[in-house]
């Protein structure tokens, strides 16, 4: 005999499909929703239904947005000649949080991962190349992660952008702020030395 009511079981199954949510967590969340007032559950359901209807991809940078172009691409204070290439929306948010970048973005929505069947045609590399070919972009800042797939994606982008009339830069890689040098790993330290900065005239 199944002791879980079917409606609750369905919600547990739905929540369990979300990334990082195991069956126990899904059950806890479902029971929490059930214990809260019905109005809260209705609001949650409405927000979920509205999500796909309201949010689209910006046709310029492929960020999730309710407007097209998105808030960043539509901002006249942003420099359209400087384009930062990121893997995912979460990376865009992390860079925006710094307040240090005043250009526009290009979201790949993934990285090159042959073992998962993801090649150049599966992520938005073609759209980036078309954007650069239009001639309005002066610099492409590649801000993919420094993992193996992120670096390989950066290497592929650099090779494809070579020969185009555009400056290609890569996010610097080195010692995190506040870290003692003797605790840095060899690879990071070597990269930090390779990409050392000129502090001015002697």
Choose the stretch contacting another protein; rule: CB under 8 A; options: 26-34, 76-84, 87-95, 145-153: 145-153
103 and 141 in contact (C-beta within 8 Å)?
A: yes
At its nearest, how many Å lie between another protein and the CB of residue 84? Answer: 20
Q: Is 37 in the site for another protein (CB under 8 A)?
A: no
Nearer to another protein, 71 or 179 (CB): 179
Q: Is 20 in the site for another protein (CB under 8 A)?
A: yes
Place of tokens 């420094």: 146
Between residue 84 and residue 143, which ones bind another protein under the rule CB under 8 A? 112-117, 119
Question: How many residues line the site for another protein (CB under 8 A)?
Answer: 24
Cβ neighbours for 77, distance < 8 A, ≥ 6 positions apart: 102
Nearer to another protein, 88 or 139 (CB): 88
At its nearest, how many Å lie between another protein and the CB of residue 153? Answer: 8
At its nearest, how many Å lie between another protein and the CB of residue 183? Answer: 7
Burial, 9: exposed, middle or buried (Cβ in 10 Å; 0-12, 13-18, 19+)? middle
At its nearest, how many Å lie between another protein and the CB of residue 75? Answer: 32
CA 40 – CA 25 distance, rounded (Å): 19
Cα–Cα distances in angstroms (integers) from residue 172 to residues 82, 134, 140, 197, in the given order: 16, 27, 14, 10
Closest CA to 146 of 73, 98, 87: 87
140 and 83 in contact (C-beta within 8 Å)?
A: yes
Between residue 166 and residue 195, which ones bind another protein under the rule CB under 8 A? 176, 179, 183, 185-188
Q: Is 18 in the site for another protein (CB under 8 A)?
A: no
44 and 32 in contact (C-beta within 8 Å)?
A: no
Q: Is 159 in the site for another protein (CB under 8 A)?
A: yes
- Residues within the interface to another protein (CB under 8 A): 20, 112-117, 119, 146-149, 151-152, 155-156, 159, 176, 179, 183, 185-188
């Amino acid at each position: 005999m199944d002791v879980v009511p079917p409606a609750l079981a369905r919600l547990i199954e739905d929540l369990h499909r979300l990334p990082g949510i195991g069956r126990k967590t899904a059950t806890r969340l479902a029971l929490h929703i059930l214990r809260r007032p019905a109005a809260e559950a209705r609001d949650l359901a409405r927000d979920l239904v509205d999500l796909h209807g309201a949010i689209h991809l910006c046709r310029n940078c492929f960020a999730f947005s309710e407007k097209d172009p998105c808030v960043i691409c539509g901002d006249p204070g942003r420099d359209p000649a400087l384009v930062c290439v990121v893997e995912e929306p979460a990376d865009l948010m992390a860079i925006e949080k710094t307040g240090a970048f005043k250009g526009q973005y290009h979201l790949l929505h993934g990285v090159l991962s042959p073992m998962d069947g993801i090649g150049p045609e599966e992520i938005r590399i073609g759209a980036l190349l078309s954007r650069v070919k239009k001639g309005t972009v002066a610099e492409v800042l590649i801000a993919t992660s420094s993992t193996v797939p992120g670096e390989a994606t950066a290497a592929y982008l650099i090779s494809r952008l070579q020969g185009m009339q555009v400056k290609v830069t890569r996010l610097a890689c080195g010692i995190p702020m506040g870290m003692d040098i003797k605790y840095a790993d060899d690879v990071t330290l070597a990269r930090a030395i390779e990409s050392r900065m000129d502090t001015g005239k002697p």
